[in-house]
Chains A and B, each alone.
Chain A
Amino acid sequence: EIVLTQSPGTLSLSPGERATLSCRASQSLGSSYLAWYQQKPGQAPGLLIYGVSNRAAGIPDRFSGSGSGTDFTLTISRLEPEDFAVYYCQHYEGSPLTFGGGTTVEIK
């Protein structure tokens, strides 16, 4: 099973600042099958990024994904008020699908 470790657990930032979230895999994701989701309180997760760096439909370009192998990053270039939420990474290289533990981006 591929274990995904996200850091930091919580990121305290102000609107307009840059957010950098990390997701580390316990083994290399050779096919770059990594996605990121955003979840707001009381809501289901929503797809942000797939294939490491591809934005899902309707996702603004302030969100970007990068990385390879075992280290992946989600960057939010300038935080908007609606971006304060929990973010999860997920691999889809095979069974079982696993998620990282999440990073909470909170208002400082």
Chain B
Amino acid sequence: QVQLVESGGGVVQPGRSLRLSCAASGFSFSEYAMHWVRQAPGKGLEGVAVISYDESRKDYADSVKGRFTISRDTSKSTLYLEMNSLRTEDTAVYYCAKVDWSGPTYWYFDLWGRGTLVTVSS
């Protein structure tokens, strides 16, 4: 079925690294831009990173620029988020999300994963 499944979350110390994965199924992964959106405990939604369908464009929130890297592997239908130099304020549930329309990078999301929790704590 059409779904996104995140993995890779966990507890990590400040300054360390973590890589999140998002496995896509049930749709043509290579045709859609993909986003990572996070939600700190009890807080709202924040767009973290985006990658266009053809990988020609990658954008990041100012809060993670230079520390996080988004990538995708079309052969595995998987989206990644490499997170380095983690800070306590990066603690959140991280969701991957698919845009509704093939082509545009910035669009609304019609499919979300269930999220993976990243806790940055000493």
Contact = CB atoms under 8 A, between A and B. Distances in A.
B115 A44 contact: yes
Contacts of B115: 44
A99 B44 contact: yes
Nearest to B59: A95
B50 A97 contact: yes
Contact of B44 (A46, A47, A88, A94): A88
A100 B59 contact: no
Contacts of B95: 44-45
A94 B106 contact: yes
A44 B59 contact: no
Contact of A99 (B45, B100, B112, B113): B45
Contacts of B107: 92
Most buried by A among B45, B46, B115: B45
Nearest to B99: A92
Contact of A47 (B45, B61, B110): B110
Interface of A: 33, 35, 37, 43-47, 50, 56, 88, 90, 92-102
Interface of B: 35, 44-47, 50, 59, 61, 95, 100, 105-110, 112-115
